[in-house]
């Protein structure tokens, strides 16, 4: 989706905020680094005093497992730093060899903490019961308030307001899931909503999980809902809804049905009281039912099943040809094969572990067009028809195993579907998908097809060309990790999955397959927790290996597989960046600002002990960032700077507890904080500062009307007149000149005009109309910037097959020139710009190539002279480069995602070609 609104955006901290939360640095190993035992005895936690993992215990803990586990944690406050009163048991499962894992959810003031689960592993029975190991995520620094400062209705409106495209917002709904504490530092009280609507660019569904900071009223975390089989197409969300509709009174029977290739196969079916039959397998504890959507839109099956959709029917026990061509027979057999693998090999009774129904829906389309994908929707599998290029997606047992394993993961480690935890979620689904297929088909691990995923889906071509991913691609963290921002593939959940999926597959090749399957399953079911990263995954697998009594040699083999894929503590530090880091692991990645050798940006303090504040530092010399916002419990950010002072927004309750938004300024060197504007019904944004002048936009929540406020020479702010019906965006301010992009409607057409206003003259001195009231292109001017004595802007054609131009106009209205023509091979399809008096830097937002994401396709920054020329790459860092701010000359700062977290970095000049 194209987000054309210009940052800073008060109501959209943005999806990359999630990276600061879940892409935490790996835990440091405690104890001697040269320990020859590959299983760490103690791994300390990140952002918490509670350990991530403690192994090698044998401490008596008799009695009821949950009570014994809790008593054990309570008995060792110095070791675990856990308050047992904040834990609630969410499951105690017995493993095949008689161990028990007790899984606890952490609460803070009665509110669940997102992804915070702590596990206790017990061995033995009765009086002989002992604690063997303990670990997970428990956050010790939480002091966040537990009552919201923002009214519930306002939070819902703010959540919907995060859909910045007006077309997406129209008709969108917000489902309220209640309160949750987001971990990290002091924690943040958030309200969790699921937004559902239509993606205006693709016409496909838009489903986003959004967490509103209930103290500040800003987006704290947002990501797309989960798990299509391939990246990019079709998202879905779980909701409580109908699953199987196996009719009462059906009796187990057997019959025949054609498979997708027309071969007649034996199937388990249900005989109904009226003598007809349905595709319901009643021979296992879990009822397996298979529906034929008969080409209906996949949206009809998201979350629920329409009342008129029943399992595939037949008047007699021999099912008709459509049962095969729809993919129903294959889905039915594959669901049973997946169930049998988990039960016979791993001792698990179905996806939920309790024999719950297993439902598949086949033959869905994308509004009548082919739907070459499959997904687990939280309750069931949904398979696309495949169209003319692919077979029905249910024919591939590895794809069925992949989708159903997402269901197993949801009932065990529940890995959050973002960044490294999300990539591990995908990796585990790939591992078991392939393991199930290889086992059921009797394939050798050395068969070249064993490591391929979805290789049998294509109607033509080789398996290698057809495969969506391969677990033998030998990718490593240091050489291949693609640090994607949150906007790309949910932070790289498919892009990076084979790095750890490949390590797991190597373990299956080098140990025997059965031992490997038990090992990986135990890590999933008994050691992993929702926020775990790759290194946590390594530690979980090794701890599971110790509990399975793997030999020391076997454990070394396991460790070597992770080593071969670069999954070891500290891998992020070996990536070889060509930029210098100013601020590591920014907690709240809103756009930074820079000028005259200074940067300004929002962050938590280095120890994570206080709420989000505004910091400043030097762009040229290493120094310790200093805080410039007051310590008042509010969220401070969306800053601008002229290198001497900063202007920014503070959001949250004031000393009397009344929620509002305020515009503040302060010299970077310290001194008094000045308030220019405060309101609880009007939203300030686009704050700009130059010398003693400050400008910002104010939008009325109720009417949506925007106005521009200007404080000149330190005087109280006044509203600048704007013609009725005119709206503005992209405020820029420099040396007594204001600029913006003004939009209004002429007849049916929307027009857009970069506008220059002289503060001294008190009037508009230039206005360049770019939208053509008589034409149909709807060209839009955005991203206005004053630099080098001119006004620069981006012109984006309404026709999305055309590229954007970067243009500049004289301040007196005397003419426009191209900085980068839309016909240049370097012109991006849409972009935002930042400029110094010498150079303009633009973002080339990533767009997914047909063959899948690559490093080159991720968001990158380019720079060219203000007078025009050939753009050069600003940095050759692998991974996403976003939210650039020009400093002086060719120096630029930006947010870099290369290291799997968000760092504020700087370069003095472009890198050239990469």
Q: Which of 438, 361, 363 is nearest to 403 (CA)?
A: 361
- Could you report how far apart the first and last alpha carbons of the chain are, in Å? 27
CB of 817 to Zn ion, least distance (A): 49
Query: Of 470 and 709, which has the nearer Cβ to Zn ion?
Result: 470
Query: Of 426 and 887, which has the nearer Cβ to Zn ion?
Result: 426
Query: Of 429 and 500, which has the nearer Cβ to Zn ion?
Result: 429
CB of 405 to Zn ion, least distance (A): 8
Query: Of 417 and 862, which has the nearer Cβ to Zn ion?
Result: 417
Q: From residue 583, give the alpha-carbon distance in Å to each of 219, 343, 714.
A: 22, 49, 31
CB of 854 to Zn ion, least distance (A): 20
| Paired residues of 171 in beta bridges | none
Q: How far is CA 197 from the centre of its chain?
A: 18
Query: Of 398 and 572, which has the nearer Cβ to Zn ion?
Result: 398
Angle at 214 between CA 209 and CA 219, to 5 degrees: 45
CB of 889 to Zn ion, least distance (A): 46
Q: What are phi and psi of 679, to 5 degrees?
A: -160, 155
Strands 593-595 and 598-603: antiparallel
Secondary structure E strands in 570-669: 580-583, 593-595, 598-603, 613-618, 626-627, 635-641, 645-653, 659-667
Q: Which of 913, 878, 877, 907 is nearest to 890 (CA)?
A: 907
Q: How far apart are CA 118 and CA 82, in angstroms?
A: 10
Active site residue: 132, 209, 403, 872, which one? 403
Q: How far apart are CA 20 and CA 50, in angstroms?
A: 20
Active site residue: 494, 565, 636, 712, which one? 494
CB of 375 to Zn ion, least distance (A): 8
| 494 part of the active site | yes
Angle at 91 between CA 87 and CA 92, to 5 degrees: 105
CB of 327 to Zn ion, least distance (A): 18
Contact assessment for residue 66 and residue 91, using Cβ atoms and an 8 Å cutoff: no
Neighbours of 95 (CB within 10 A): 21
Secondary structure E strands in 95-217: 100-108, 111-123, 130-136, 173-182, 188-198, 205-213
CB of 69 to Zn ion, least distance (A): 32
| Paired residues of 330 in beta bridges | none
Query: Which residues sit at the interface with Zn ion, rule CB under 5 A?
Result: 227, 426, 429
CB of 392 to Zn ion, least distance (A): 18
CB of 29 to Zn ion, least distance (A): 31
Query: Of 227 and 412, which has the nearer Cβ to Zn ion?
Result: 227
Contact assessment for residue 880 and residue 488, using Cβ atoms and an 8 Å cutoff: yes
The first and second tokens of residue 358, run together, are: 């297993």
The first and second tokens of residue 868, run together, are: 């025009």
In SS3 terms, 824-837 reads as CCCCCCCCCEEECC
Q: How far apart are CA 727 and CA 706, in angstroms?
A: 6
Q: Which of 303, 167, 314, 143 is nearest to 215 (CA)?
A: 143
Q: What is the dihedral of CA 277, 280, 284, 286, to 10 degrees?
A: -150
Query: Of 227 and 268, which has the nearer Cβ to Zn ion?
Result: 227
CB of 335 to Zn ion, least distance (A): 17
| 3 part of the active site | no
Q: Which of 308, 331, 328, 341 is nearest to 242 (CA)?
A: 308
User: Residue 25 gets which letter from DSSP?
Assistant: P
Each as own residue / partner, the long-range contacts of residues 897-900 (CB below 8 Å, 24 or more positions apart, any chain) are 897/16, 897/19, 897/483, 897/484, 897/485, 898/483, 898/575, 898/577, 899/483, 899/572, 899/573, 899/575, 899/577, 900/19, 900/23, 900/419, 900/420, 900/481, 900/483, 900/533, 900/572
The first and second tokens of residue 180, run together, are: 């949750």
Query: Of 348 and 402, which has the nearer Cβ to Zn ion?
Result: 402
Contact assessment for residue 708 and residue 695, using Cβ atoms and an 8 Å cutoff: yes
Angle at 453 between CA 448 and CA 454, to 5 degrees: 115
Q: What are phi and psi of 275, to 5 degrees?
A: 90, -5
CB of 648 to Zn ion, least distance (A): 40
Q: List, by residue number, the catalytic residues.
A: 403, 494
């Amino acid at each position: 989706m194209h987000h054309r609104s210009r940052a800073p955006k008060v109501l959209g901290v943005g999806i990359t905020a999630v990276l600061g939360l879940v892409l935490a640095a790996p835990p440091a190993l405690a104890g001697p680094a040269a320990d020859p035992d590959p299983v760490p005895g103690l791994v300390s936690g990140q952002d918490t005093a509670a350990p991530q993992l403690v192994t090698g215990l044998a401490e008596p803990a008799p009695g009821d497992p949950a009570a014994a586990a809790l008593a054990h944690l309570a008995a060792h406050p110095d070791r675990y730093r856990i308050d047992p009163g904040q834990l609630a048991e969410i499951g105690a499962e017995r493993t095949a060899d008689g161990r028990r894992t007790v899984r606890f959810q952490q609460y803070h003031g009665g509110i669940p903490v997102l992804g915070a689960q702590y596990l206790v592993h017990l061995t033995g029975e009765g009086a002989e019961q002992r604690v063997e190991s303990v670990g997970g995520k428990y956050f010790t620094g939480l002091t966040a308030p537990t009552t919201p400062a923002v009214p519930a209705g306002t939070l819902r409106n703010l959540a919907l307001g995060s859909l910045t495209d007006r077309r997406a917002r129209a008709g969108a709904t917000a489902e309220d899931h209640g309160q949750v504490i987001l971990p990290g530092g002091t924690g943040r009280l958030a309200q969790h909503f699921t937004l559902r609507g239509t993606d205006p660019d693709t016409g496909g569904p838009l489903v986003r999980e959004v967490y509103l900071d209930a103290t500040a009223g800003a987006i704290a975390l947002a990501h797309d809902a989960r798990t299509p089989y391939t990246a990019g197409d079709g998202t879905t969300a779980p909701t409580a809804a109908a699953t199987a509709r196996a009719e009462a009174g059906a009796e187990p029977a057997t019959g025949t049905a054609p498979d997708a290739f027309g071969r007649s196969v034996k199937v388990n079916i249900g005989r109904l009281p009226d003598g007809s039959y349905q595709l319901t397998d009643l021979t296992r504890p879990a009822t397996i039912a298979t529906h034929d959507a008969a080409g209906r839109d996949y949206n009809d099956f998201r979350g629920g099943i329409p009342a008129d959709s029943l399992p595939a029917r037949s008047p007699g026990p021999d099912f008709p040809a459509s049962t095969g061509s729809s993919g129903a027979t294959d889905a039915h057999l594959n669901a049973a094969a997946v169930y049998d693998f988990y039960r016979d090999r791993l001792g698990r009774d179905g996806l939920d572990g309790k024999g719950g129904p297993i439902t598949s829906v086949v033959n869905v389309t994308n509004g009548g067009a082919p739907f070459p994908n499959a997904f687990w929707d939280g309750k069931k599998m949904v398979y696309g028809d495949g169209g003319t290029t692919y077979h029905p997606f249910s024919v591939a047992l590895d794809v069925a195993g992949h989708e159903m394993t997402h269901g197993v993961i949801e009932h065990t480690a529940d890995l959050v579907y973002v960044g490294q935890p999300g990539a591990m979620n995908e990796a585990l689904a790939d591992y078991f998908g392939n393991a199930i297929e290889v086992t059921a088909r009797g394939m050798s691990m050395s068969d070249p097809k064993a490591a391929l995923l979805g290789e049998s889906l294509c109607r033509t071509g080789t398996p290698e060309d057809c495969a969506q991913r391969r677990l033998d691609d030998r990718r490593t963290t240091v050489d291949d990790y693609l640090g994607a921002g949150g906007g790309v593939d949910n932070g790289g959940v498919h892009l990076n999955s084979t790095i750890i999926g490949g390590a797991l597959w190597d373990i299956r090749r080098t140990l025997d397959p059965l031992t490997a399957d038990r090992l990986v399953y135990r890590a999933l079911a008994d050691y992993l927790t929702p926020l775990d990263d790759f290194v946590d995954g390594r530690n979980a697998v090794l701890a599971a290996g110790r509990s399975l009594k793997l030999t020391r040699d076997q454990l070394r083999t396991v460790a070597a597989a992770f080593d071969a894929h670069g999954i070891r503590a500290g891998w992020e530090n070996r990536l070889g960046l060509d930029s210098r880091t100013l601020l590591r692991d920014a907690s709240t990645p809103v756009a930074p600002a820079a000028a005259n050798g200074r940067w300004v940006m929002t962050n938590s303090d280095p120890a994570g002990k206080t709420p989000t504040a505004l910091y400043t530092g030097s762009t040229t010399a290493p120094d310790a960032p200093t805080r410039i916002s007051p310590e008042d419990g509010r969220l401070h950010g969306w800053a601008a700077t002229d290198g001497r002072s900063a202007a920014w927004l503070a959001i949250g309750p004031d000393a009397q507890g009344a929620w509002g938004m305020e515009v503040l300024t302060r010299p970077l060197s310290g001194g008094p904080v000045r308030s220019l504007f405060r309101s609880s019904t009007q939203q300030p944004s686009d704050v700009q500062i130059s010398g003693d002048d400050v400008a910002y936009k104010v939008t009325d929540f109720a009417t949506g009307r925007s106005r521009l406020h200007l404080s000149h020479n330190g005087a109280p702010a006044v509203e600048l007149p704007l013609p009725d019906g005119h709206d503005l965006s992209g405020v820029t301010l420099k040396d007594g000149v204001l600029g913006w992009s003004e939009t209004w409607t002429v007849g049916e057409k929307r027009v857009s005009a970069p506008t220059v206003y002289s503060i001294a003259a008190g009037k508009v001195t230039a206005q360049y109309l770019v939208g053509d009231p008589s034409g149909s292109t709807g060209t839009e001017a955005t991203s206005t910037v004053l630099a080098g004595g001119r006004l620069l802007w981006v012109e984006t054609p309404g026709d999305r097959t055309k590229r954007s131009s970067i243009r500049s106009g004289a301040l007196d209205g005397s003419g426009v020139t191209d900085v980068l023509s839309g016909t240049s091979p370097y012109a991006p399809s849409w972009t935002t710009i930042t400029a110094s008096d010498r150079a303009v830097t633009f973002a080339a937002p990533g767009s997914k190539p047909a063959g899948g994401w690559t490093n080159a396709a991720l968001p990158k920054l380019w720079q060219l002279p203000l007078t025009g020329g050939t753009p050069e790459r600003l940095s050759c860092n692998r991974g996403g480069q976003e939210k650039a701010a020009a400093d002086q000359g060719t120096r630029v700062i930006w947010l870099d995602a290369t290291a799997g977290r968000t760092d504020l970095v700087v370069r003095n000049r472009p890198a050239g070609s990469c």
